Structure 1
Amino acid sequence: LGGVDIIMGGGDPGARSSIRIRGTNSLNSSSEPLIVVDGVPYSTTIDDNFDFSTANDEDLGALLNIAPTDIESVEVLKDASATAIWGTKGGNGVLVINTKKGSMGKTRFSFSSKLTTNYEPNPIPMLDGNEYTALMQEAIWNSANYIGLKTGNPYLKLLYDTPEIGYNPNWYLFDEYNQNTDWLKEVRRDAVTWDNNFSMSGGGEKANYRLSLGYLSDEGVTIGTNLDRLNSTLRIDYNFSRKLKFGADFAYTQSNKDDNFASNVRSEAFSKMPNKSPYWIDENGNRTSQYFSHQTRDFEGEYRPTRNYNPVAMVHESYNNTTSKEGKITFRMDYNILSNLTYNGYASINLRTTRNTKFLPQVATGVVWTSQYANQSTDAMSDRTAIQTQNKLMFVKKWNDMHDIIATGVFRTSQSQSSSYTSTTSGNASSGLADPIVGSTVESMNSGESESRNISSVFLVNYTLLRRYVLQTSLTMEANSSMGKDNRMGVFPTVGVSWNIDNEPFIKEYKDWLEIAKLRFSVGQSGNSPSGSSYYGAYTALGEYMNYSGIHPIRMQLDNLKWETSTEYNFGADLSLFKGKLKFTFDYYKKNVRDLLQRNVSIPSSTGYATISYFNSGEMVNKGWEFRTDGVLFENKDWNVSSYLNFSRNLNEITKLPENLSQDNYTFGNGRYAIQIEEGRPFGSFYGYRYNGVYQNIEATYARNSEDEIMNDVNGDPIVMKNGTQTVFPGDAIYEDINHDGVINEYDIVYIGNYMPIITGGAGLSVRYKQISMNAFFHGRFGHKIINRTRINNESMYSVANQSQAVLRRWRNEGDDTDIPRALYNEGFNYLGSDRFVEDASYVRLKSISVNYNFPRELSNKLGFSSMSAFVTGYNLFTWTGYTGQDPEVSIPGSANRLAEDNANTPISRRISFGINLNF
């Protein structure tokens, strides 16, 4: 899908992914597209297992909680003219999905089943136990030298008094700290997914129906992750008369999702001491079934919710379960008022209940029983009710063969209400008592309610002259509860024209090979409101006063808040040759966004608030092009070979920002990047230091001016560079001194790249020979960069965390040819946020390849089926990339205060599926 950029942020079942149609259109509000199912906007969470760029019916069915065999068609709307019918919600693009209806005739049954095996890509090679202890001893010794070898040196004491990294067979825990543990291997697995779907349909002249049932069981490759989902849909259509039709859709989905209690199990497994055992070791040197953990602290430190725990115990003993139940009912009516005037409308209600239960037993943490992390329980529940209505009138009129006019008026309403509560307790008497009500200590208790409303009217007129010249205009008026009261109503016009050249008289002589030739142009506006509910009346709990608690407002009333408004220009061309065997589509677009929504900006404390939730200021532009070609390469009675290729380019630039916009969010320190937005740069830019390698000797550490001359102090001695407040030595990291003052600090931070790709593209090949078919799809993303946070953690050599085998190339002596600094425990600034860890994440991936066999009809009929087929499909089997992490796909940041980082999330798995389709 040209112009559609999809990034899968991980491989755990039910996790979230990112999608953009024609780039990011807002700094702090939603840039996700609108999904419409059978004419009704659909609210859903797009998970990491979903990819629009390769999505087939099964993928879309899983996303929308419907049977994949129910999907009839999928269409992507991009430009302002095409999305105008959906109002402001379509400003980021629209994915239109239509499901199958019942049909006349006897009842038809269909069943499909698919078994998928999931395999994780090769992991990052980490140090073994012996390499780790050698590294830690070297790092601590270097730090002891760094501060000076003297009496009371804390590093000398640490080096000689830490048995966890020493070799003392007489120590009572020697066996537990003399291992070679592959912690990542201990918390991952090969997984299996089952997906089954059944449907039945039928009907007569008056009524038809379609019933669909589906069940999915999806294991994650990280132990403790799993998703079970049951979905059902029923669609009924009834014709009361020629003029009046009624329809009803019923859908119910229930899902049960398991996650790890700790969200960073895999990154903890990467950093865990490899010489440490997950289990206690018996007197014979064998593992026991009891998890090993110090109840107080060891060399790694004390237990914390995000670090220093036993990840093997965590994935096996703790749990984080989310159960969701969702029901949706839609009633539809179509009425032909006159021969050229029709009405259709619907009313839809969506009810969703979600419950999350979490339990952290003492055995998973190893802490003492009096700790708040011993038998900690959480119970959370949320309910959401959403009601949508639509009323649409359409007038269609034709005059001779010259004039065609379609006038449409649409009025929509939507309202949602949500409520939630969360309670967390600890100190349960037993690991078998997981209910928060039995906890001896209340850690936290919260609740909340929210409500949002939206009304809109859309008026469209489509006029066609001589079937060649088309004019489309629209006007959208929309009001949203999250807007300021002075600007709650937004007005957004669009206009589009197209020329069907293939219908011109002078083209008749070319019609034997020219099928479609069309030029399109449109310009239109759309609006974007703040994400979430009303921004009036937001309150939170206040501390106690005289034994009474209270609430206080946390947001300033935003009377003047305006719609974030985009104006999009689109020029396109469509060409189809040789009876559709060769097709070309090209689009160029430019979208100007003004009144950008800035979020949580600091304001004077005299107002009574620390920040303002939203205010309008700034401008941004998205522009680019899209190209797609489809072709039938070879075709005869037995063979059909076809292919397609698409490329797209999106350029984003922030063109205007308020002069007084405060971005004081950087504190000098290792691993930190400045988070800021800047005029002339794209959204998602990285700001940090330029890394220039390692100081080889003393002379190399001397500060130099802009002429590359050594700088001297008042005594004539060379000035030695400083990283922050600390003097550098041979083996330390070199950062470019931008202002040549001899000190690396925030004044040396520069732009070092962004995550926006230069080009995205895809290619597909389809081959059919008689009853056998093969389909393959490749996807590529080129020129984008991401911060490899996993490398930062695995190459810092600063803490007790295990490191990757890359640090075996670390600097040790003058003349070492390496770009990795020396090991330095808890000292120095050898891993500042710099371009050292900003990597080109370009890749080409074989997203899917499938082989399908349709059994002969005679065999199918003999077995009692009208048709049978079997298939095998491979997903993500090969990836070509220079990126050094496990997976180059990293989630797109949703706001300006987040960075695109690889945080050692579960990578996308290689999957192989086997399945059958039966119809009877």
Structure 2
Amino acid sequence: MKNSSFYNTASALCYIILIGIILSSSPALAKKRLRPQLSERQQNQISGIITDGRAPLPGVTIAIKNQINYVVLSDFDGKYSLLAKANDTLVVSYIGYKTAIIPINYRKNIHIQLQEDITSLQEVRINAGYYSVKEKERTGSIARITSKDIETQPVTNVLATMQGRMAGVDIVQDSGSPGGSFSIKIRGQNSLRADGNQPLYIIDGVPYSSETIGSTATSGTAPTMTSPLNSINPSDVESIEVLKDADATAIYGSRGANGVVLITTKKGKAGVTQFSVNSSSSFGTVTDTPKLMNTQQYLAMRKQAFANDGVTVYPSSAYDINGTWSPNRYTDWQDKLIGGTARIYNLQASVSGGSLRTQYLLSGNYRTETTVFPGDFKYSKGSAHFNMNHMSDDERFKMTFSGNYTSQNNNQPSVDLTPVSRILPPNAPELYDANGNLNWENGTWTNPLAGLESEFESRINDLVANVVLSYRFVPNLEFKSSFGFTDLDNNENRTQPFTMYDPSFGLDSKTSSITTNLTTRSSWIVEPQLNYTAGIGKGHFEVLLGSTLQNQRTERLYQFGSGFASNSLIHDLASATIKNIRLNDATVYKYAALFARLNYNWDTRYMLNLTGRRDGSSRFGPGKQFATFGAVGAAWLFSNEAFLKDSKVLSFGKLRASYGSTGNDQIGDYQFLDTYVSTGNNYQGIVGLQPARLFNPEFGWESNQKFEMALETGFFKDRIFLTTAYYSNRSSNQLVGMPLPGSTGFSTLYGNLDATVQNSGFELTLRTINLTQQLKWSTNFNISLNRNKLLSYPGLESSTYANTYVVGEPTSIMKVYHYTGMNLTTAVYEFEDMNRDGLITSLGDKQTLVNLTPSYFGGLENQLRYKGAQLDFLFQFVKQQAFAPQPGVPGVMQNQPESVNNPNAQQPYTAGKNGNVVTAYFRYATSDGAVEDASYIRLKNISLTYDLPLKFSKGLRCQLYWQGQNLLTFTNYSYGDPEFKMSNNYLPPLKVNAIGVKLSF
């Protein structure tokens, strides 16, 4: 019985389990079973984690299908949470990944793994200025980098982030001093004027003047004045687009002749409030310095020089060799004067978030940087960035506000110690005496640290703000207006206290002086626009109409003061007994324009883009103030043709071309007018005026015609993407200062020169996706070959530029002597007598041409990712030649490169007595003999980032990183850093290492 009862009970349980399995396997019954947990009518909490199979993905957009008003973003751990119904469908999208369509199907927890979509890069919309366009549909030439490229670089100027990363964009750092400037050329030098080649900078839709904001009388260690672009914090930049060809730049008219640089700052995103803190510490040292003679080599050279001059008794002024200075002393002056370590500290913090309708972002940055020079010098910069976007419930009204404020304080020596560090004799005296004071060694030398007593100080406050209001009347008609404002205040000075001179001179504070420069610049701009879009069959067209009204006012006040009761009063100009106003002026620049764009796209195969602009500038005289510019661009997306759509090899193919004209008014204000300046002389209580400039009624626009043709091809689902482009730009009606005879009383007359400059070349960019699995590896390569040529210059032979330019040759050439070798008998350099007149003269024999324009330049970038680690590195390369600077006549009281040392005494040493050797040396410095290969390959940037696996943290992400800049340079150039070329007398770029941590939560 007991066994029978057990058997029946077990059988019953088996039947119950079997019935349960059958019921659970029925989808219909399963739904009924789940209904008590999730409702089809009510909102339910859905959550999960989004990854790419390796790591969580932050910032992924999760929406509900057919509900455009509800969107959430994943946090830094890839987690998301939203309210949805049991039968809703999720739409999950993220740039670079395939969009996932996922039915909820009564689930509460849905973990999602996105698949990378390498072809989606063609769908990214890029900023083209007044409009945006999909990458695959653009007809113009636009280079682009994003915050992912920018954030890996420990730099303070946004121009530094572009070096080596953009085809056709040549950027050179002018100085390694904090706050120093950069030179930029987009597809070569169009204007004969050095200051007429600056591109147009646009920050969040607001034009930002590239004009220098300082004075040569008050500038610091940099060879040029402070870079205006220092006011933009790289950490706040979302993307930088460079517009190059006519199709892309013509809509900016006269302002786009030299290219346009569009800087877009970061914006808030919808989702939970997110905080980010980024802190780093860096140290910087000089890159490459030339090898110089040691004391033994130097003294041997000096002795040989006096012997060559027939001098047996050393003069009393030869302190280095007559026993006044110790012959056993050695100092590496490059190490002593520029061999310090710059300490850099950077702190960035931000908060962002918002709803679908309103998003915000607030960030702040503080950076300090010391120098490699001796002394307590520092550059500090603080900035704040705020952005807010708002959209009405009916999605018709939109508002965007963006504001950037930067405050800079730069205190630097007013002299650069780099030149003196390369010429000081290695046995020169100590810098300080036994009491810790500057050592003047009884007046036998000028202590190099005395120059540090003279300081440069600059305080710059800069505001850039913009508001964009738009209203969509109907789905395809929108009115938009942009209101921009900039305000810059630069107050800088340079002091020259009497303590910078030898005390034996008997000077006191009455000889101390200060030069000050106060520059204020403010501008406003209003740009109303009307956008209309429509589709007709397979065709789609866009129409943009707009206008520009801009006003810029610049005020400058240069003052000089001397004669102070004490050096402690040197910054108080009112305490000076002598005061002079060197310049006090105000200029107003007014600009107005009408512009239009018509874009037609037929079946995403054929695209036509027409742009035009009518410009008016106050920089030209009556009848010359207005000009019209325009361009046409066309593209054929041949990979969308039926015969190629199913190609397994060619995934993308586009042929595009453009032609158009732009202008240039970068000549400064009031250059066409009769102007007068103060004579500075007081006659019977009246200060006189004298004419400074002649009126020129023919003063008009410089014109630039641009042509480009390019082929873009993608292979194997765009894993290999190649772009090749050819361009030819011609700049005519050149705005220059034409020299006048001295009898006129004026040195120049500003006007239009009937000369034409051509820049043509090839650009190639290659992007490859090498690995896509656990280890992801991508490569970007670019190379640019530009050829500059002066096509025509009527009357060049009889002009004052006859020895500067040659028709058919680049505008960057130099006419030099042709070096034929050294006469072993006389130990004198010899040169070819080009005009066969028996004499070597500058006018007749400087006929050999040296081209200093780079033959080509580019960069190779690689990015590797594995789980939580990412490695980025960029090699920059340049093919060029340059002069090796000559420090002085070998044998005089100046150190020389180690290469000048010649044990066989064949080098033409002289202590200055042999005039033939001295003359020949200076000729050699301007001959092709002094030209050498200055090509280089540089590890421009490297970044290693690691995401700590914080498994138990809630929403916290911690990244550790190391970044390097200018770490390695491979070159045959013998005299320091090859990037500087002719500017080797200034501090070279610094080699920077940075370590930091970034917290996000």
Q: SS state of the match for residue 853, structure 2?
A: coil
- The alpha-carbon deviation at position 555 of structure 1 amounts to 1.2
CA contact (8 A) 1:787 1:902 kept: no
Structure 2 match to 1:793: 887
Structure 2 match to 1:479: 616
1:659-710 Cα deviation digits (max 9, x unpaired): 0566658xxxxxxxx961111110211111112221112xxxxxxxxxxxxx
Unaligned segments of structure 1, at least 5 residues: 48-60, 146-154, 169-173, 282-286, 301-308, 666-673, 698-729, 891-899
Structure 1 match to 2:964: 874
- Structure 1 distance, partners of 2:999, 2:657, is 46
- The alpha-carbon deviation at position 745 of structure 1 amounts to 0.8
- Structure 2 distance, partners of 1:530, 1:662, is 27
CA contact (8 A) 2:936 2:978 kept: yes
CA contact (8 A) 2:510 2:565 kept: no
Q: SS state of the match for residue 497, structure 1?
A: strand
Structure 1 match to 2:651: 515
- Structure 2 distance, partners of 1:695, 1:860, is 78
CA, structure 1 residues 260+358, in 2 after alignment: closer, same or farther (shift >3 Å)? same
CA contact (8 A) 2:256 2:664 kept: no
Q: Residue 748 of structure 1 aligns to which amino acid in structure 2?
A: D
Structure 2 match to 1:745: 841
**1:655 and 2:655 correspond:** no
**1:841 and 2:841 correspond:** no
Structure 2 match to 1:626: 763
CA, structure 1 residues 278+498, in 2 after alignment: closer, same or farther (shift >3 Å)? same
CA contact (8 A) 2:202 2:260 kept: yes
CA, structure 1 residues 141+675, in 2 after alignment: closer, same or farther (shift >3 Å)? farther
- The alpha-carbon deviation at position 289 of structure 1 amounts to 0.9
- Structure 1 distance, partners of 2:230, 2:399, is 23
Instruction: Name the TM-score, length of structure 1 as normaliser.
Output: 0.83
1:293 to 422, 440, 443: 440
- Structure 2 distance, partners of 1:377, 1:779, is 42
**1:333 and 2:469 correspond:** yes
Q: Mapping of 1:601-616 within 5 angstroms?
A: 601-605=738-742, 607-616=744-753
Q: Residue 914 of structure 1 aligns to which amino acid in structure 2?
A: I
Structure 1 match to 2:625: 488
Structure 2 match to 1:232: 384
CA, structure 1 residues 181+448, in 2 after alignment: closer, same or farther (shift >3 Å)? farther
1:767 to 857, 864, 870: 864
- The alpha-carbon deviation at position 857 of structure 1 amounts to 4.7
- The alpha-carbon deviation at position 166 of structure 1 amounts to 4.4
Decide which moves more: 675-684 or 421-430. Answer: 421-430
Q: Residue 982 of structure 2 aligns to which amino acid in structure 1?
A: E
2:540 to 404, 412, 430: 404
CA, structure 1 residues 618+68, in 2 after alignment: closer, same or farther (shift >3 Å)? closer
- Structure 2 distance, partners of 1:425, 1:130, is 46
**1:248 and 2:401 correspond:** yes
Structure whose alpha-carbon radius of gyration is higher: 2
Decide which moves more: 266-275 or 461-470. Answer: 266-275
Q: Residue 945 of structure 2 aligns to which amino acid in structure 1?
A: N
CA contact (8 A) 2:815 2:849 kept: yes
Structure 2 match to 1:469: 606
Q: SS state of the match for residue 960, structure 2?
A: strand
- Structure 2 distance, partners of 1:18, 1:332, is 31
Structure 1 match to 2:530: 393
Instruction: Name the TM-score, length of structure 2 as normaliser.
Output: 0.77
Q: Residue 870 of structure 2 aligns to which amino acid in structure 1?
A: S
2:830 to 734, 740, 746: 734
Structure 1 match to 2:723: 585
**1:806 and 2:806 correspond:** no
- The alpha-carbon deviation at position 313 of structure 1 amounts to 2.7
CA contact (8 A) 1:764 1:777 kept: yes
1:200 to 351, 366, 374: 351
1:112 to 278, 301, 306: 278
Q: SS state of the match for residue 334, structure 2?
A: helix
2:709 to 564, 571, 582: 571
- Structure 2 distance, partners of 1:62, 1:381, is 15
Percentage identity across aligned positions?
25
- The alpha-carbon deviation at position 571 of structure 1 amounts to 0.4
- The alpha-carbon deviation at position 764 of structure 1 amounts to 1.4
Q: SS state of the match for residue 405, structure 1?
A: strand
- Structure 1 distance, partners of 2:625, 2:676, is 22
Q: Residue 325 of structure 1 aligns to which amino acid in structure 2?
A: N
- Structure 2 distance, partners of 1:662, 1:443, is 41
CA contact (8 A) 1:860 1:868 kept: no
Structure 1 match to 2:988: 907
Q: Residue 849 of structure 1 aligns to which amino acid in structure 2?
A: I
2:915 to 827, 844, 856: 827
CA contact (8 A) 2:627 2:701 kept: yes
- Structure 1 distance, partners of 2:508, 2:565, is 12
CA, structure 1 residues 592+509, in 2 after alignment: closer, same or farther (shift >3 Å)? same
Decide which moves more: 327-336 or 215-224. Answer: 215-224
- The alpha-carbon deviation at position 46 of structure 1 amounts to 9.8
Q: SS state of the match for residue 509, structure 1?
A: coil
CA, structure 1 residues 522+605, in 2 after alignment: closer, same or farther (shift >3 Å)? same
CA contact (8 A) 2:852 2:881 kept: yes
- Structure 1 distance, partners of 2:915, 2:304, is 13
Q: SS state of the match for residue 369, structure 2?
A: strand
CA contact (8 A) 2:204 2:402 kept: no
Structure 1 match to 2:494: 358
Unaligned segments of structure 2, at least 5 residues: 1-165, 214-226
- The alpha-carbon deviation at position 339 of structure 1 amounts to 2.3
- Structure 1 distance, partners of 2:501, 2:297, is 27
CA contact (8 A) 2:284 2:342 kept: yes
**1:450 and 2:587 correspond:** yes
Q: SS state of the match for residue 901, structure 2?
A: helix
- Structure 1 distance, partners of 2:827, 2:708, is 54
CA contact (8 A) 1:798 1:827 kept: no
**1:261 and 2:414 correspond:** yes
- Structure 1 distance, partners of 2:427, 2:618, is 57
1:734-774 Cα deviation digits (max 9, x unpaired): 11222333321121112331221112121112211111111
Q: Residue 183 of structure 1 aligns to which amino acid in structure 2?
A: W
CA contact (8 A) 1:470 1:497 kept: yes
The aligned length equals 809
CA contact (8 A) 1:252 1:327 kept: yes
- The alpha-carbon deviation at position 460 of structure 1 amounts to 1.1
CA contact (8 A) 2:621 2:700 kept: yes
CA, structure 1 residues 652+445, in 2 after alignment: closer, same or farther (shift >3 Å)? closer
CA, structure 1 residues 761+194, in 2 after alignment: closer, same or farther (shift >3 Å)? same
CA, structure 1 residues 73+382, in 2 after alignment: closer, same or farther (shift >3 Å)? closer
Structure 2 match to 1:531: 667
Calculate the aligned-residue CA RMSD, in Å. 2.7
- Structure 2 distance, partners of 1:92, 1:682, is 17
- The alpha-carbon deviation at position 138 of structure 1 amounts to 4.0
- The alpha-carbon deviation at position 9 of structure 1 amounts to 2.1
Structure 2 match to 1:271: 423
Q: Residue 185 of structure 1 aligns to which amino acid in structure 2?
A: D
2:373 to 212, 218, 222: 222
**1:190 and 2:190 correspond:** no
CA contact (8 A) 2:728 2:761 kept: yes
Q: Residue 344 of structure 2 aligns to which amino acid in structure 1?
A: T
CA contact (8 A) 1:654 1:683 kept: yes
Structure 1 match to 2:140: none
**1:77 and 2:243 correspond:** yes
Structure 1 match to 2:9: none
1:531-569 Cα deviation digits (max 9, x unpaired): 322323533221526343222231111211121111111
- Structure 2 distance, partners of 1:905, 1:422, is 25
Q: SS state of the match for residue 809, structure 1?
A: coil
CA contact (8 A) 1:72 1:99 kept: yes
Q: Mapping of 1:43-62 within 5 angstroms?
A: 43-44=209-210
Q: SS state of the match for residue 361, structure 2?
A: strand
